Amino acid sequence: MRPVVDAVETDVLILGAGGAGLCAALHAADRSPSLSVTVVVKGLLGRAGCTRMVQGGYNAVLTAPDSLDAHFLDTLAGGGWINDQELVWTLVVEAPGRVLELESRYGCLFDRTPEGRIHQKPFAGQTHDRTIHKGDLTGIEIMNRLSEQVLRRPNVRALEECRAVELLLDPAGRCRGALVLDLRTGRFVVATARATLLAMGGGPTMYKVVACSADKAADGIALGYRAGLPLRDMEMIQFHPTGLVIPDSLITGALLEEGLRGAGGHLRNGRGERYMERYDPARMERSTRDLVARASFLEVTEGRGTPNGGVWIDVSHLGAEVVERSFRGMVRRCRDFGRDLARGPVEVGPTTHFMMGGVVVDAACRTAIEGLFAAGEDTGGVHGANRLGGNGVAESTVFGGIAGDVMADFVVGRAPARDGGAQVDDVVEWLTTPLARRGGDLYGLQRELREVMWERAGLVRDGAGLKTAVVTAERIANELSRVGVPGGGAFNLAWQDWINLTNQAAIARLIAASALARTESRGAHYRNDFPAPSTAPLYIVRVQARAGEAAVWTEPVALTRATPAGAGRVSSMVEVGD
């Protein structure tokens, strides 16, 4: 007998409740108050995911001399010119309006200048001060206000501590909702919907040192891949340069945000040298994340690191009062571990932060599957080879809002979705089989995957190492089919980690396979066997499940609005078109 005991019918199903998911819920609910909107969140509403962890801020053009063209070109240059230019243009055009919406409609309060304007601070890789913020706790402000607003909409309901485990497709290949697992009870829920949004937030937690939320496991990208969606830019993993180094602590990797470098913070190696002089003497610490993170990594590997294998970040020369006022959250975080950010250097190192790659979408958040939409870190194309700090939460809220509007219009006149039938039975059997098994070393496999991805598919890569990562991820995926997680379904954390590792191993393989296909260095992807950008035409790497295998291929970049002045060069640009 099928062990599914619950069913939910809804008009719009939103998988994920970060900035993208909550903005989508609000836009859909407000565009058509007669619609039912259901939000599935792996944790608690407003308390889970990565948007809440955003310290730095939100990029948007508000005042001259900044311009939409400048934001657009900065994003392309930072992304190595492989971005989807239509997605980038949508981001920069819509971001200013979304900021005003966050303040005037949803109640966010961002920092102001003495004249009363929204304050914008400098962030790396940008030609203007355009990063809007609430101190260094911007994500908390946004998520608190968005979740409050969601709770005020009577047509929105939340399924908390639940996770989507598979997309449901009808015989014609259209999305009809998702199979959801309640973490508290171990019961499955068939959630049928006329429109479904993937907004589960990516999360490169298959690496050893991470800054993203621990509840992430690239679930949304894995669901999209298994459903047959094409992915892009999976080789592009962002390593943030300043994660805390706390020996023997899980807090290692937690971010000290980019505003420290934007405000004038210095990075020094174990010898006290400001080593960015060797890598980007013009921009120094305000260089892009990919370059600074790689520079820090190389300083350590070449023997110039700190005692615990990191580098120093120092903002004490700004004055303790300034640091404590401007970076309250980070000062508190450092003091929790005996470090005084306001008065001396703090040990930091590169940490795995963000996935630039993901599901292929258009500017209306539509995927290749009818009825399925995607927004935020589950998607690829906006950031290209490297995300600028401050563009992440902007992407989530901009495209989440667009997705909500588009889905509300999409469902008009469409028949209600139906149960996934045999597909549900097959998925439930697959997922519950480990509960009846014993043996295997789940956490040993987890450690092995994290190690091989950090060492072989991390900041510095080569062909041999990437092949090792592919083979190891495949083997781990196969060994998971023999691992048991007994104890029943309710509150079985090992079972949840088994599901997490299943998705992580699958996506790790795609990351390494895509990195093998990019035989150059660009943005966050650095291969020491191909250390320079290719002089050939710009291309993207795509991957899709075909006949049970991962097909990987390349396609030319569509330069629809602007082009780099020289092939393979990203420092010179021509004007943006209309």
CATH label of the domain that carries residue 470 = 1.20.58.100
**pLDDT 10s digits, 351-399:** 999 999 999 999 999 999 999 999 999 999 999 999 998 999 999 999 9
User: Are both 443 and 533 inside the same structural domain?
Assistant: yes
Q: Are residues 444 and 534 in the same domain?
A: yes
pLDDT digits 0-9 by tens, 58-103: 999 999 999 999 999 999 999 999 999 999 999 999 999 999 999 9
d(CA 391, CA 80): 15
Asked if residues 36 and 28 have their Cβ atoms less than 8 Å apart, the reply is: no
Higher pLDDT, 279 or 567: 279
| 542 in active site | no
User: Where residue 301 sits, what CATH number does that domain have?
Assistant: 3.90.700.10
Using the predicted structure, report yes or no on whether residue 206 has a pLDDT greater than 70.
yes
Residues 433, 534: one domain?
yes
Task: Answer whether the bond into residue 65 is a cis peptide, omega within 30°.
Answer: yes
- What does DSSP say about strands 58-59 and 237-244: parallel, antiparallel, or unpaired? unpaired
Q: Note down the domain range covering 298.
A: 241-350
* pLDDT tens column, 418-438: 766 778 999 999 999 999 999
Residue 86 belongs to a domain: no
Contact 552, 513 (CB under 8 A): yes
Pick the catalytic residue from 27, 176, 261, 268.
Answer: 261
**Judgement on whether residues 432 and 535 belong to the same structural domain of the protein:** yes
* In a domain? residue 503: yes
Q: What pLDDT was estimated at residue 577? A: 34
Q: Which of 539, 558, 573 is the last residue of a domain?
A: 539
Residue type, 66: D
Among 133, 145, 176, 240, the active-site one is 240
In a domain, 549, yes or no: no
Q: Which of 350, 376, 396 is the last residue of a domain?
A: 350
- Structural domain includes residue 21: no
- Backbone phi, psi, residue 548, to 5°: 80, 0
Within-domain flag for 45: no
The rounded percent of the chain whose pLDDT value lies above 70 is 96
Give the pLDDT confidence score for residue 575 in this predicted structure.
37
Please identify, among 319, 350, 381, the residue that sits at the C-terminal boundary of a domain.
350
Closest CA to 148 of 87, 105, 192: 105
Number of folded domains that form the chain: 2
pLDDT of residue 568: 35
Q: Do 337 and 438 sit in the same domain of this protein?
A: no
Q: Does 578 reside within a domain?
A: no
β-strands 58-59, 131-132 pairing: antiparallel
Domain contains 373: no
Residues 255, 211: Cα–Cα separation, whole Å: 6
Q: Can 261 be counted among the known catalytic residues?
A: yes
- Model confidence over 216-231: pLDDT tens digits? 999 999 999 999 999 9
In a domain, 448, yes or no: yes
Q: Is the pLDDT of residue 565 over 50?
A: yes
